[in-house]
């Protein structure tokens, strides 16, 4: 269409310069023909310059606008000395004046790192690297099987703005340290071979057998659809099928969950209160203790004064689109963090 418009304009200007002042029925002189050619050439050059300069202006304006669109920080993982994972953070091209050392504790940690072996999604690790300098974190890894890993690191800036940094890395077999503190791991069948998980599913319930004899049970919603909020409820049972008597809060909450799409396009770290970061919640509620405190309080409803904590937890979430998802759920009893793993197929919206 643009070419036709340019050629049409060139033809109109050429005809006007050549024939506008020629009486009807009179022949066009050679001089007027030359005038028409000159006018057409000048018009073509002018329009070409307009298009060229307009294209440059458009691209410059688009680049300026793109620079204002949010882009998460970059994260580059490197394995050092066999089991030391180094994470270097850099600007992602948005607001380069953002600081790389203004992170604040969220659930008592500056970074929450999920490492998921890909594409099997059969091993998951919830770890907590420590800062060693501006824009750099390190972590001594536990034992890890070899493979490709997707890394999702949650951080919160001093202004309460949360970010999830994403990276991929290939790791050899790692012989590392024992898990300690709030670190946790989980293992299940590969997601592409989830028939074993489905075998433990009834109409509205799925059970995940844990290695120590405990069982995590998912009370499934009656129907699941994309972009529809649901409540996902889970409970933990001891080897006798009863609620554990030593239930404890896991980083101040009854549980944590990660909803991950098997194609890697969706990752959501969910709490019983939703996706809100505890640090951001505290900033919105100044009556809570200082953000600099390492002993952050439990979220609302998490009362440690109860003689025994419930063995169940619920998470509000809505799947953004159709596809297969794997859900990693973590609950704590005594000093043990249990990780239940569940698969769900979200159908296309009707």
Could you report the per-residue pLDDT of 35-69, keeping only the tens digit for each?
777 878 888 888 889 889 988 998 888 777 776 77
343 with 201, same domain: the answer is yes
Q: Last residue of a domain, which of 66, 82, 112? A: 66
94 with 40, same domain: the answer is no
58 with 86, same domain: the answer is no
Which phi and psi angles does 193 have, rounded to 5°? -120, 55
139 with 154, same domain: the answer is yes
Eight-class DSSP state of 26: P
**pLDDT class for 148, splitting at 50, 70, 90?**
very high
Q: What is the pLDDT of residues 13-28, one digit of tens each?
A: 877 777 677 677 677 6
275 with 171, same domain: the answer is no
pLDDT of the residue at 331: 98
| Both tokens assigned to 229 | 């909020």
Rounded CA separation 260/122 (Å) = 12
20 with 81, same domain: the answer is no
346 with 206, same domain: the answer is yes
Res. 204: pLDDT tops 90: no
Rounded CA separation 249/276 (Å) = 18
pLDDT of the residue at 31: 74
Res. 195: pLDDT tops 90: no
Instruction: Report the range of poorest mean pLDDT among 39-48, 55-64, 94-103, 125-134.
Output: 94-103
Closest to 166 in 3D by CA, of 68, 280, 270, 71: 71
* Overall domain count for the chain: 3
CATH code of 280's domain = 2.60.40.10
Percent of the chain predicted with pLDDT > 70 = 84
Sheet containing 123-127: which strands, arranged edge to edge? Answer: 162-171, 147-156, 112-118, 123-127, 184-187
Please state the pTM of the whole predicted model.
0.77
> Is the distance from CB of 269 to CB of 162 less than 8 angstroms?
no
136 with 6, same domain: the answer is no
> Is the distance from CB of 108 to CB of 295 less than 8 angstroms?
yes
DSSP, residue by residue, 211-235: TTS-EEEEE--S---TT--EEEEEE
264 with 179, same domain: the answer is no
49 with 98, same domain: the answer is no
331 with 348, same domain: the answer is yes
Collapsing DSSP to helix, strand or coil, 332 comes out as strand
The winner for highest mean pLDDT among 39-43, 206-210, 221-225 is: 206-210
Q: Last residue of a domain, which of 117, 148, 183? A: 183
Q: Can you tell me which residue has the tokens 């490492």?
A: 115
CA–CA distance from 162 to each of 158, 273, 319, 322 (Å)? Answer: 9, 15, 20, 26
Question: What range does the domain containing 331 cover?
Answer: 188-350
Q: Last residue of a domain, which of 157, 183, 209? A: 183
Percent of the chain predicted with pLDDT > 90 = 55
CATH code of 139's domain = 2.60.40.1220
pLDDT of the residue at 270: 94
Instruction: Report the range of poorest mean pLDDT among 32-46, 104-118, 147-161, 233-247.
Output: 32-46
207 with 155, same domain: the answer is no
DSSP, residue by residue, 176-213: -BPP-TT-EEEE-S-GGGTHHHHHTB-SSEEEEE-TTS
């Amino acid at each position: 269409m643009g070419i036709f418009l340019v050629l049409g304009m060139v033809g109109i200007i050429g005809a006007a310069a050549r024939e506008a002042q020629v009486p009807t029925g009179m022949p066009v002189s050679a001089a007027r023909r030359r005038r028409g050619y000159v006018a057409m050439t000048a018009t073509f050059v002018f329009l070409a310059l307009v298009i060229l300069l307009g294209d440059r202006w458009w691209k410059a304006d688009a680049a300026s606008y793109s620079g204002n669109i949010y882009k998460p920080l970059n994260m580059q993982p490197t394995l050092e000395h066999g089991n030391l994972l180094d994470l270097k953070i850099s600007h992602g091209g948005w607001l380069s004046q953002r600081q790389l050392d203004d992170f604040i504790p969220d659930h008592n940690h500056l970074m929450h790192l999920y490492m998921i072996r890909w594409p099997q999604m059969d091993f998951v690790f919830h770890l907590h690297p420590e800062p060693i300098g501006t824009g750099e974190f390190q972590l001594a890894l536990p034992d890890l099987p070899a493979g490709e890993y997707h890394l999702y690191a949650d951080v919160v800036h001093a202004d309460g703005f949360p970010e999830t940094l994403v990276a991929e890395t290939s790791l050899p077999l790692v012989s590392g340290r024992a898990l300690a503190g709030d670190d946790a791991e989980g293992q299940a069948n590969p997601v592409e071979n989830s028939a074993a998980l489905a075998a433990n599913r009834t109409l509205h319930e799925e059970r995940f057998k844990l290695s120590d004899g405990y069982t995590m049970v998912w009370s499934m919603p009656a129907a699941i659809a994309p972009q529809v909020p649901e409540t996902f409820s889970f409970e933990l049972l001891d080897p006798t099928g009863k609620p554990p008597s030593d239930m404890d809060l896991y980083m101040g909450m009854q549980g944590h969950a990660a909803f991950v799409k098997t194609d890697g396009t969706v990752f959501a770290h969910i709490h019983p209160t939703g996706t809100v970061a505890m640090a951001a919640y505290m900033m919105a509620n100044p009556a809570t203790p200082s953000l600099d405190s390492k002993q952050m309080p439990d979220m609302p409803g998490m009362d440690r004064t109860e003689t025994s904590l419930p063995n169940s937890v619920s998470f509000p979430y809505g799947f953004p689109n159709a596809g297969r998802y794997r859900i990693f759920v973590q609950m704590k009893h005594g000093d043990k963090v249990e990780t239940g793993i569940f698969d769900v197929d979200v159908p296309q919206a009707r």
